[in-house]
């Protein structure tokens, strides 16, 4: 792998950039691998990367039905934070947060992780109570999260309207300074390049269509649109399509797939320094390095695999954005789109074994899994390599839906992303 | 002065009405009917902006909404400034103030232009390869610099001073686009008498015909035909014409969103008129007649100001009567540009035409042009443009069929019209999920099978000949209206010959020239090469790696050239490369239009009780609970919240208080099976509850966690008056209806929301009975006749009431339900009597304190969707003998019966003056290493006047077993020591309510 | 925005409705008799199909009736709707 | 004894003076939610002067207005002060037949919207097709106006519409319609 650096960039500038090599190969699938990862999103690629890097498993493949990062990795609003409520969630999101901090250097790929701060607005006493609960819980876990007065919030984010005459005035805010955003596509590409360099085969335009099991019922391989691939270990990381893939292994999942929409405005000069989320009025917003306001809407109310939803959903979010930031009313929506998010009953992911030996699943990240990408890939790689969960993902079992040991972030706070 | 490039004759501008606008401080005159672009061109201004990345000088590329370059900031007055307006779309109107963008300090001298010099480094994706060292420099140095350099104009800083409107509409046929195809479609469709809408994004309807000087339709000049067609449509009562209206989104089930621009073009818009209106049209059928976009040609420095699309040159000359230059060179690979060249020559301009096609591939239009005395070079390529801030010429050279490039020569020019062919505007069709088909002859994707009730016609359908377009439009319109009429139109034939080209052949090193694909985002052909070289082979990857097609024109000018190039590099057929996804909006739409009237008071309904006005007059502070505004506390004089609440609490405990409980949800459950229904919904038993009695009820979700609670009164054997929490009211009714309709349809019960039928006045405190007694008739208020947890109907002040003897404060209390319109009058009547009793109005905060002193829970505060009845110590309420109720089975799940669950307890800080924070975490030992396991958290915390100290409720692991033990609670800066207690701090036996 | 055929009111815009997820998941007749796994499956496990799906809708801001519809989750096309307790007339399985 | 019911008028949620020519708060009325099986309605036809055997989403107009909002749901509207009388009449007419009658006189607020632009004004927030083909006079249905739920009754072809909403939504609904009216008359 040719290292990226200012030096290599300048020397290529003199060479009219003729010398750059492919960032990853386009191999044909081999007949067999030690492990196969289904899904070439950020989580799948990170899993492969850490399998190769930390567990020495390099004879592995990532199978992606479309183009790398074309799923939710390529269509999310990129909010990264770790100030979750429950110890289980704190564990995995903070693990990811620590990896984010060094990811560009680790991958030798600038993923533009920008720790510009995530501000969550409180609009009523319930929000105050809930956010303080987070702030205190996070402190016990060593995770930064501060409570701000409206004035302090305004100082941190000057465009904020803290007038007490708003329909839902801002009565305070929780700020995670280490939170921020990253360049979503680069995350997929950086992991792909890193994994490829260690020998991982990344196979695009190849759909997993079925599973083969051995006499004992364990995984023997996957059927794909490019033929059968033998392997004893399969990790399914197919996000919105998890139910579809798992159905091919005969498993039903506690998942529903909903369209989740987002939009960007036309690009403007820097006006918005951080990430702002408001749960009470359903809005979240940041400004990309290119200058667009990146705005996330809610899910549509029905299951759909169409990556599109109704106009009323982004409108509802823009109502709230313009209530909080009336100066943005003259900004224009440039593009809106949707992704398909797989939602669990408790809004927490499922990471680990399945009833089928050799079949592992990592799913249910719903509307908020981008931030977990490095951590999720890291512990899932461990789980696949060792055949048992890493302590961090041990609570995120499928079995919790039977026992009732849910990790209900949504019920506790009703905050996503 | 109308500008030196204003042509003496012709055009559709109104020379009798002059308008002047300002551009970068210069005042310039033009005519009504000008766009900002045509007005600037009239004054020979082409250099109007800087590109996104390299800050290259940029001018106009097009004359319409596909414009990627000429974006201006427009100032229409205070609160009406916005960036990134297309000069080619913005209509000139008196007094309009415009500015160029993306430069510093000025358009002419822009520091950012250094980027163009550094461009060999700033190639596609360069930032992924660098700026990583040292690590912390990203946040502090690199990213701020990148952000400052990026972006186009400046975002508005003032709240928007305009208003916006919304309209839902239905029609039989919606025709989008009013060019020849759309007009013909609308004519045909409207003949059936059905409801027809015709929308076009431009100020005038007519499409390309508005700049067509020469075509004849049915013996008339095309523009006369347009005028007649529009007159005809206007005369028909069933047609709604929407000019300046862009169909921007095609959603499910023929739901089309359109943005109508109403006042931006008016100098003196009446104040009541909205700036823009969102139309949400549900159309039975849609005809898409959205035309086609001309493609730029790809050659070195093709972005210089003065280089336009050929058809746009034609439009500026014919429609706006301005000459984009005096010496114009047209470069083309097809026939359509010949019409532009002819029109330019007819306008008296110096014209040369360069056709890339070999002479033999050119059509008869070549001879016609030469006959006019125009020089036409065939078989020539363009090597480069010259000039920086304005094109000065083109370097052209003959190219042999084998691709050999001959000697170059410079054609001097102050304007270039280029035509690389046409791309049907399939955006809306594709948004409607229709599949596209690649047509090699057109070198373009055209609509294939529609998925929704939609059809395409005209250039949008790959049809370029005028008579064919008209006939196709007519047939489509008729079919959409359920008819099958056809018509032929006698129209001047349109020359349509064309030979696909990619980047033009050149003798320079293609890796070292800047031939632009995406003008706005500064994506050049070599960027596309680089992306593919690095493995970004999917067109979606190319888009994201290079940002081609991601600019504000969303690739209208660039996508086909990018695709063609990728296909060429990969040596794959173009259709296998595919397109990127077409997404709404077709052109950018203001947030204001999308949200319409949902601002200020109309953002969200603010629900207020009948007594709200009274509380307001008393100076109450309010808090939001769901959509409701509730009186929070009633400060007197300069009391702060704590003082006011302490006073209110004391008044209730010692005398009597009055509280507006109207927001509580209320549901009337009626029918012979009402009790059975209640039995299945609540954990409690209801069969034995006597009419006239009340019971505190608890309901679960099917997962076993608490959904809501409230007092329920049985009014009659078949009638219950259910109350719910304020926020839970809609949820609870929906939950009940769901089970009733889908699980137990056999039950004879009906549910009706009565939340707003009643105003509810809580009168609480030792003197409550004495206070209300004289006002009440028909009810014996004596303690034994009307005990705690009873309900009676009677009258208060002559108004019918449902009187509850209930208490959420721990005091003797009544909740007086009266029909809402009487609420305030009754309240005032009680209040008038109250002075003698020390009656004090109290708000939700005092109510919270009073109930917490007694240890009553609030759903949503003590609970969070993970709490069971037993967790709250309310397990005893569960009627264990009932075979089933919603949530019962879940309560038996392993984790719900496991030891160690969090349980409701009291927490008393060792320092009685210290008020714990709600949400504070509770730990066993403060001196543990991080991460510290939390035993639970504080759910409620108040200063308790009755206890004269702070009190708190909390959920704590195995809390009941910990009563009496010591814990630590987080404070903003540290921990504080506290003791676990039973969750009740006052009148633990609950005697006072029976007084 | 979908146009949803309410079996009582006819075609109505989606914003008048509340979605209720997968249809025909029968609540066990005797919940206490089913084991934890079966109960979890009733509560949480869903087919989540890519393709034809029978789903529940409530015409919340209309006639307020619950009903079922058959919809394709890829095209979002609604094939038919039918009242609670009824079976779809044709087309679909599930 | 203070008897305000007889002396003091009902204090309406909306100020009656807030009327513009097109949008006017209606006087207080007696209202009921009446529920019964569809078969019962067919069998009895009408009760207390309210016609019930109507198609869903149709109303019988007049001083005793019945709007069938669903298969088993009717909104009854009569003049103010008739509550007890109507209750008694319905009780005796229906006898033992399974039904639910709930007084909602004060729950709702009525607004009258009339004039040539009435449908367009309503369509600023109501997503339904209000053309006379789709919603002829005599139609009645629950629907939405912006962010509020309403019952919309098309009374006549003046056109006149009656908009009913819950009382705490009335200021919003009224404000919404007035805002929509600005598009037409600047008022
Ligand atoms: C609009 C939107 C906004 C969001 N905002 C945020 C946010 O701000 N912060 C945040 O943390 N999260 C956010 N999320 C969620 C986040 O995007 C996802 O949780 C995360 O990206 C999931 O990553 P993934 O790698 O698991 O999934 P994906 O990137 O979706 O990858 C799954 C891959 O599996 C492939 N696949 C599926 N089936 C098959 C098969 N049969 N064979 C082969 N391959 C298959 C898919 O093609 C896909 O590429 C948002 C999501 C959306 C849609
Ligand atoms: N000679 C050639 O090769 C060639 C090629 C292409 C087109 N043409 C000419 O172009 C014309 C095509 O006629 P036509 O009627 O198909 O197209 P048109 O371009 O005349 O009209 C399309 C109209 O649709 C409008 N429009 C596009 N998208 C819209 C949207 N989303 N919302 C609202 N309005 C929208 C445009 O503003 C335009 O007025 C003919 O005159 C034809 O000769 C010629
Ligand atoms: C964080 C983020 C920023 C984006 N910025 C832009 C942008 O500036 N311009 C643009 O056209 N699209 C932008 N997009 C949207 C993509 O073009 C695209 O719509 C999205 O990745 C979904 O893919 P699809 O629309 O091809 O299905 C952005 C997407 C994300 C996730
Ligand atoms: Zn209905």
Section B916-920 average pLDDT: 97
The domains spanning B664-754 and B896-994 adopt the same CATH topology: no
CB–CB contact B819 D105 (8 Å):
yes
Q: How far apart are CA A268 and CA B456, in angstroms?
A: 35
A412 pLDDT band, cuts 50/70/90, is low
Section B539-555 average pLDDT: 97
Q: How much of chain B, in percent, has pLDDT values that exceed 90?
A: 95
| pLDDT for A64 beyond 60 | yes
Q: How far apart are CA B837 and CA B763, in angstroms?
A: 12
* Contact with chain C for residue B598, Cβ under 8 A: no
Chain A nearest C-alpha distance from C40 (Å) = 5
Protein residue with least CA distance to atom 3, ligand 1: A76
> Which CATH number is B664-754's, of 3.30.200.20, 3.30.310.220, 3.40.50.300, 3.30.70.1400?
3.30.70.1400
pLDDT tens, residue by residue, B359-399: 999 999 999 999 999 999 999 999 999 999 999 999 999 99
| Contacts with B726 from chain D: Cβ below 8 Å | none
Protein residue with least CA distance to atom 24, ligand 3: B581
pLDDT tens, residue by residue, B68-127: 999 999 999 999 999 999 999 999 999 999 999 999 889 999 988 888 888 899 999 999
Q: A370 CB less than 6 Å from ligand 1?
A: yes
Q: Give the helix/strand (H/E) hosting B184.
A: helix B180-190
| pLDDT for D1 beyond 60 | no
CB–CB contact A105 B594 (8 Å):
no
Retrieve residue B368's tokens: 């016609």
Cβ count near A158 (within 10 Å):
10
pLDDT tens, residue by residue, D56-84: 999 999 999 999 999 999 999 999 999 99
Cβ count near D14 (within 10 Å):
18
| pLDDT for B339 beyond 80 | yes
Q: Which of B167, B670, B672 is facing D102, going by the closest CB pair?
A: B670
CB–CB contact B552 A266 (8 Å):
yes
Chain B nearest C-alpha distance from C89 (Å) = 19
CB–CB contact D124 B596 (8 Å):
yes
Retrieve residue B118's tokens: 């550094």
Section B571-588 average pLDDT: 96
- Average model confidence (pLDDT) across chain B: 96
pLDDT (0 to 100) of residue D18: 73
Ligand 2 pocket test, candidate residues B174, B210, B292, most atoms within 8 A of CB:
B292
| pLDDT for A415 beyond 80 | no
- Smallest-distance ligand from the CA of A416: 1
- What single DSSP character describes residue B156? P
Chain A nearest C-alpha distance from C55 (Å) = 9
| pLDDT for D3 beyond 80 | no
D9 pLDDT band, cuts 50/70/90, is low
| Contacts with B120 from chain A: Cβ below 8 Å | 13-14, 16
- Average model confidence (pLDDT) across chain A: 96
Residue B961 — left, alpha, or beta (φ > 0 → left; ψ -120 to 50 → alpha)?
alpha
pLDDT (0 to 100) of residue C91: 52
Section C31-37 average pLDDT: 97
pLDDT tens, residue by residue, B966-981: 999 999 999 999 999 9
A258 pLDDT band, cuts 50/70/90, is very high
Q: Which of C41, C46, C73 is facing A255, going by the closest CB pair?
A: C46
Report the candidate in B75, B80, B113 with the shortest Cα–Cα distance to residue B97: B75
Question: What's the CA-to-centroid distance between B806 and ligand 1, angstroms?
Answer: 52
| pLDDT for B899 beyond 70 | yes
Retrieve residue B2's tokens: 């109308």
CB–CB contact C74 A403 (8 Å):
no
B838-851 burial, b for 16+ CB within 10 Å, e for fewer? bbbbbbbbbbbbbb
| Contacts with D128 from chain C: Cβ below 8 Å | 12-13
Section D21-40 average pLDDT: 95
Distances (CA, A) of A203 to A1, A30, A66, A378, B674: 18, 10, 9, 21, 61
For chain D, which domains are there?
A: 19-181 (3.30.1360.120)
Closest residue on chain B to D179 (Cα): B597
Distances (CA, A) of A341 to A307, A410, B432, B653: 9, 15, 22, 52
ipTM: 0.97
Report domain extents, chain B: 164-292+424-480, 327-415, 509-585, 664-754, 896-994
Chain B nearest C-alpha distance from D62 (Å) = 24
pLDDT tens, residue by residue, B8-52: 999 999 999 999 999 999 999 999 999 999 999 999 999 999 999
Domain B509-585: CATH superfamily, name plus number:
BFD-like [2Fe-2S]-binding domain (1.10.10.1100)
Q: A288 CB less than 6 Å from ligand 3?
A: yes
pLDDT (0 to 100) of residue B112: 87
Section B653-661 average pLDDT: 98
CATH code that applies to domain B896-994: 2.40.30.110
Q: Which of D99, D104, D123 is facing B168, going by the closest CB pair?
A: D123
DSSP string computed for B40-105: HHHTT----EE-TTT--EE----SSTT-SS-EEEEE-STT-EEEEEETTTSBP-TT-EEE--S-SB
Protein residue with least CA distance to atom 9, ligand 1: A79
Pocket of ligand 2 (CB under 6 A): B 176-182, 199-202, 207-209, 246-247, 289-292, 335-336, 422, 425, 428, 458-460, 464, 466, 469, 494-496, 586
Chains near D with 3+ CB pairs less than 8 A apart are B, C
Section B606-613 average pLDDT: 98
| Contacts with C7 from chain D: Cβ below 8 Å | none
pLDDT (0 to 100) of residue B800: 95
| Contacts with B734 from chain C: Cβ below 8 Å | 18, 58, 60
pLDDT (0 to 100) of residue D87: 96
CB–CB contact B734 C66 (8 Å):
no
Section C21-30 average pLDDT: 96
* Contact with chain D for residue C18, Cβ under 8 A: no
| pLDDT for A406 beyond 80 | yes
pLDDT (0 to 100) of residue B149: 86
- What single DSSP character describes residue D117? T
pLDDT (0 to 100) of residue B139: 87
CB–CB contact A90 B280 (8 Å):
no
D42 pLDDT band, cuts 50/70/90, is very high
CA B351 to chain centre: 47
pLDDT tens, residue by residue, A281-307: 888 999 999 999 999 999 999 999 999
* Contact with chain A for residue B925, Cβ under 8 A: no
What's the fold here for domain B164-292+424-480?
A: FAD/NAD(P)-binding domain (3.50.50)
Bridge partners, B621 (sequence order): B633
| pLDDT for B625 beyond 50 | yes
Q: Which of D10, D101, D166 is facing B756, going by the closest CB pair?
A: D166
| Pairing relationship of beta strands A208-213 and C10-13 according to DSSP bridges | unpaired
pLDDT (0 to 100) of residue A277: 96
Retrieve residue B782's tokens: 């004596």
Chain C nearest C-alpha distance from B324 (Å) = 44
The answer to whether the predicted template modeling score (pTM) of the entire model surpasses 0.95 is yes
Q: How far apart are CA B688 and CA D150, in angstroms?
A: 38
Question: What's the CA-to-centroid distance between B73 and ligand 3, angstroms?
Answer: 24
CATH 3.40.50.10280, domain B327-415, yes or no: no
CB–CB contact A311 B83 (8 Å):
no
Name the maximum alpha-carbon separation found in chain B. 115
Cβ count near B384 (within 10 Å):
21
CB–CB contact B167 D147 (8 Å):
no
| Contacts with C78 from chain B: Cβ below 8 Å | 253
Retrieve residue B699's tokens: 């309901």
| Contacts with B126 from chain A: Cβ below 8 Å | 9
B150 pLDDT band, cuts 50/70/90, is confident
CB–CB contact D167 B824 (8 Å):
no
Q: How far apart are the first and last CA of chain A?
A: 34
Q: A157 CB less than 6 Å from ligand 1?
A: no
């Amino acid at each position: 792998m040719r290292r990226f650096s200012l030096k290599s960039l300048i020397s290529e500038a003199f060479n009219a950039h003729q010398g750059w090599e492919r960032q990853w190969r386009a191999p044909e699938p081999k007949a067999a691998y030690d492990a196969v990862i289904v899904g070439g999103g950020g989580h799948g690629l990170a899993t492969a990367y850490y399998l190769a890097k930390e567990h020495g498993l390099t004879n592995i493949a990532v199978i992606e039905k479309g183009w790398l990062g074309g799923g939710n990795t390529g269509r999310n609003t990129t909010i990264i934070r770790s100030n979750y409520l429950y110890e289980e969630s704190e564990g995995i999101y903070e693990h990811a947060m620590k990896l984010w901090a060094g990811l560009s250097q680790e991958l030798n790929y600038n993923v533009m992780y920008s720790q510009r701060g995530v501000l969550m607005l409180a609009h009523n006493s319930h929000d105050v109570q809930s956010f303080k609960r987070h702030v205190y819980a996070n402190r016990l876990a060593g995770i930064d999260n501060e409570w701000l007065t409206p004035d302090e919030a305004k100082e941190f984010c000057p465009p904020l309207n803290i007038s007490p005459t708003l329909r839902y005035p801002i009565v305070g805010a929780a700020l995670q300074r280490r939170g921020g955003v990253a360049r979503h596509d680069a995350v997929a590409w950086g992991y792909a390049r890193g994994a490829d360099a260690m020998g991982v085969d990344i196979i695009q335009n190849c759909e997993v269509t079925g599973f083969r099991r051995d006499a004992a019922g364990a995984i023997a391989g996957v059927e794909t649109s490019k033929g059968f691939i033998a392997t004893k270990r399969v990790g399914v990381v197919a996000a919105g399509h998890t139910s579809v893939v798992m159905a091919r292994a005969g498993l039903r999942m506690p998942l529903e797939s909903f369209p989740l929409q987002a939009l960007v405005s036309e690009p403007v000069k820097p006006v918005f320094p951080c990430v702002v989320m408001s749960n009470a009025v359903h809005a979240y917003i940041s400004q990309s390095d290119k200058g667009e306001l990146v705005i996330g809407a809610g899910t549509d109310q029905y299951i759909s695999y169409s990556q599109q939803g109704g106009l009323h959903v982004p409108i509802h979010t823009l109502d709230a954005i313009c209530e909080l930031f009336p100066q943005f009313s003259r900004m224009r929506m440039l593009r809106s789109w949707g992704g398909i998010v797989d939602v669990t009953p408790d809004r927490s992911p499922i990471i680990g074994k399945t009833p089928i030996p050799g079949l592992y699943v990592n799913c249910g990240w719903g509307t908020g899994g981008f931030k977990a990408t490095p951590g999720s890939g890291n512990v899932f790689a461990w789980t696949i390599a060792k055949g048992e969960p890493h302590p961090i993902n041990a609570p995120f079992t499928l079995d919790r839906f039977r026992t009732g040991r849910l990790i209900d972030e949504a019920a506790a706070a009703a905050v996503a992303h | 002065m109308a500008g030196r490039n204003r042509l003496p004759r012709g055009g559709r501008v109104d020379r009798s009405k002059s308008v002047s606008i300002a551009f970068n401080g210069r005042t310039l005159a033009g005519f009504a009917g000008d766009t900002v672009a045509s007005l600037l061109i009239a004054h020979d201004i082409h250099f109007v902006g800087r590109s996104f990345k390299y800050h290259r000088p940029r001018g106009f590329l097009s004359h319409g909404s596909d414009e990627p370059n000429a974006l201006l900031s427009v100032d229409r007055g205070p609160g009406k400034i916005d960036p990134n307006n297309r000069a080619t779309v913005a209509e000139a109107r008196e007094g309009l103030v415009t500015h160029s963008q993306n430069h510093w300090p000025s358009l002419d001298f822009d520091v950012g232009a250094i980027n163009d010099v550094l461009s060999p480094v700033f190639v596609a994706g360069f930032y992924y390869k660098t700026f990583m060292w040292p690590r912390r420099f990203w946040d502090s140095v690199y990213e701020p610099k990148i952000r400052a350099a990026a972006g186009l104009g400046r975002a508005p800083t003032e709240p928007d001073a305009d208003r916006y409107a919304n309209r839902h509409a239905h029609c039989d046929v919606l025709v989008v686009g009013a060019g020849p195809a759309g007009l013909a479609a609308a004519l045909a469709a409207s003949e059936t008498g059905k409801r027809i809408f015709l929308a076009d994004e431009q100020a005038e309807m007519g499409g390309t015909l508005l700049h067509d000087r020469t075509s004849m339709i049915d013996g008339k000049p095309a523009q006369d035909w347009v005028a007649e067609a529009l007159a005809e449509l206007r005369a028909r009562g069933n047609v709604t014409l929407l000019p300046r209206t862009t169909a921007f989104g095609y959603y499910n089930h023929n739901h089309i969103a359109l943005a109508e621009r109403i006042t931006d073009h008016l100098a003196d818009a009446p104040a009541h008129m909205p700036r823009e209106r969102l139309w949400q049209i549900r159309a039975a059928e849609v005809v898409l007649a959205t035309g086609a976009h001309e493609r730029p040609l790809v050659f070195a420095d093709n972005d210089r100001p003065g280089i336009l699309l050929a058809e746009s040159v034609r439009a500026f000359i014919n429609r706006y009567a301005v000459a984009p230059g005096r010496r114009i060179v047209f470069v083309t690979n097809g026939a359509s540009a010949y019409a532009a060249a002819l029109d330019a020559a007819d306008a008296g301009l110096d014209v040369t035409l360069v056709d890339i096609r070999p002479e033999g591939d050119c059509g008869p239009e070549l001879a016609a042009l030469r006959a006019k005395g125009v020089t036409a070079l065939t078989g020539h390529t363009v090597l480069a443009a010259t000039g920086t801030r304005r094109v000065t010429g083109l370097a052209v050279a003959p190219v042999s069929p084998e691709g050999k490039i001959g000697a170059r020569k410079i054609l001097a020019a102050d304007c270039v019209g280029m035509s690389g062919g046409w791309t049907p505007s399939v955006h809306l069709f594709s948004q409607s999920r229709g599949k596209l088909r690649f047509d090699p002859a057109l070198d373009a994707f055209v609509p294939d099978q529609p998925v929704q009730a939609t059809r395409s016609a005209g250039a949008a359908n790959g049809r370029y000949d005028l008579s064919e377009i008209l006939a196709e439009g007519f047939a489509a319109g008729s079919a959409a209206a359920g008819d099958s009429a056809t018509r032929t139109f006698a129209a001047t034939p349109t020359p349509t010959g064309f030979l696909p080209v990619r980047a033009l052949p050149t003798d320079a090193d293609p890796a070292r020239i800047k031939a632009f694909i995406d003008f706005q985002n500064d994506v050049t052909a070599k960027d596309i090469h680089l992306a593919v070289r690095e493995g970004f082979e999917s067109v979606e990857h190319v888009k994201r790696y290079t940002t081609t097609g991601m600019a504000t024109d969303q690739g209208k000018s660039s996508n086909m050239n990018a695709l063609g190039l990728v296909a060429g590099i990969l040596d794959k057929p173009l259709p296998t490369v595919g397109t990127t996804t077409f997404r709404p909006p077709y052109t950018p739409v203001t947030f204001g239009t999308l949200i319409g009237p949902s601002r200020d008071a109309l953002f969200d309904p603010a629900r207020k009780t009948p007594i709200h006005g009274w509380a307001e007059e008393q100076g109450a502070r309010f808090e939001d609970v769901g959509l409701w505004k509730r009186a929070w506390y009633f400060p007197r004089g300069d009391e702060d919240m704590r003082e006011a609440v302490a006073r209110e609490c004391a008044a209730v405990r010692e005398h009597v208080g009055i509280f507006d409980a109207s927001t509580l949800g209320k549901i009337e459950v009626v029918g012979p099976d009402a009790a059975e229904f209640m039995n299945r919904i609540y954990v409690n038993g209801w069969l034995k509850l006597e009419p006239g009695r009340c019971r505190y009820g608890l309901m679960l979700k099917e997962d076993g966690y608490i959904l809501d609670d409230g007092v329920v009164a049985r009014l009659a054997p078949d009638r219950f008056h259910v109350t719910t929490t304020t926020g839970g009211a809609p949820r609870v009714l929906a939950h009940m209806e769901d089970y009733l309709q889908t699980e137990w349809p056999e039950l004879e019960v009906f549910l009706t929301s009565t939340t707003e039928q009643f105003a509810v006045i809580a009168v609480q405190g030792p003197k409550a009975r004495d206070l209300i007694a004289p006002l009440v008739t028909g009810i014996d208020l004596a303690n034994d006749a009307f005990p705690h947890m009873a309900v009676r109907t009677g009258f208060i002040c002559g108004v019918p009431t449902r009187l509850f003897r209930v208490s959420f404060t721990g005091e003797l209390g009544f909740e007086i339900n009266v029909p809402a319109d009487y609420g305030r009058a009754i309240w005032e009547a009680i209040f008038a009597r109250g002075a003698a009793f020390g009656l004090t109005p109290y708000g939700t905060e005092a109510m919270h304190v009073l109930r917490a002193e007694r240890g009553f829970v609030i759903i949503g505060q003590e609970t969070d969707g993970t709490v069971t009845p037993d967790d709250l110590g309310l397990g005893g309420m569960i009627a264990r003998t009932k075979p089933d109720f919603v949530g019962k089975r879940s309560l038996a799940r392993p984790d719900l019966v496991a030891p160690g669950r969090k349980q409701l307890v009291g927490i008393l800080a060792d320092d009685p003056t210290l008020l714990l924070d709600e949400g504070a975490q509770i730990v066993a030992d403060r001196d543990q290493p991080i991460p510290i396991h939390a035993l639970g958290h504080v759910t409620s915390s108040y200063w308790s006047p009755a206890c004269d100290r702070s009190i708190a409720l909390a959920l704590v692991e195995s809390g009941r077993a910990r009563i009496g033990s010591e814990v630590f609670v987080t404070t903003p800066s540290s921990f504080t020591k506290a003791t676990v207690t039973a969750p009740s701090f006052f009148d633990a036996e609950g005697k006072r309510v029976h007084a | 925005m979908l146009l949803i055929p309410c079996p009582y009111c006819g075609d109505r815009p989606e914003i008048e409705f509340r979605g209720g997820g997968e249809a025909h998941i029968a609540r066990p007749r005797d919940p206490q008799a089913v084991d934890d796994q079966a109960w979890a499956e009733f509560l949480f496990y869903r087919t989540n199909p890519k393709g034809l799906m029978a789903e529940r809708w409530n015409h919340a801001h209309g006639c307020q009736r619950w009903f079922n519809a058959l919809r394709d989750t890829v095209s979002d096309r609604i094939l038919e709707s039918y009242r609670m307790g009824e079976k779809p007339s044709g087309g679909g399985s599930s | 004894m203070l008897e305000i019911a007889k002396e003091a008028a009902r204090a309406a949620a909306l100020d009656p003076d807030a009327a513009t020519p097109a949008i006017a708060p209606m006087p207080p009325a007696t209202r009921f939610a009446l529920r019964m099986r569809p078969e019962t309605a067919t069998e009895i036809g009408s009760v207390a002067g309210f016609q019930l055997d109507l198609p869903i989403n149709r109303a019988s107009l007049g001083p005793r207005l019945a709007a069938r909002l669903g298969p088993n749901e009717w909104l009854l509207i009569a003049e103010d002060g008739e509550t007890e009388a109507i209750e008694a009449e319905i009780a005796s007419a229906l006898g033992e037949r399974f039904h639910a009658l709930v007084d909602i006189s004060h729950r709702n607020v009525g607004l009258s919207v009339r004039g040539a632009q009435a449908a367009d004004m309503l369509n600023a927030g109501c997503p339904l097709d209000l053309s006379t083909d789709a919603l002829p006079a005599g139609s009645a249905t629950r629907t939405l106006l912006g962010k509020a739920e309403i019952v919309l009754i098309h009374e006549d072809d003046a056109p006149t519409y009656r908009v009913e909403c819950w009382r705490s939504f009335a200021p919003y609904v009224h404000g919404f319609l007035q805002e929509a009216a600005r598009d037409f008359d600047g008022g």
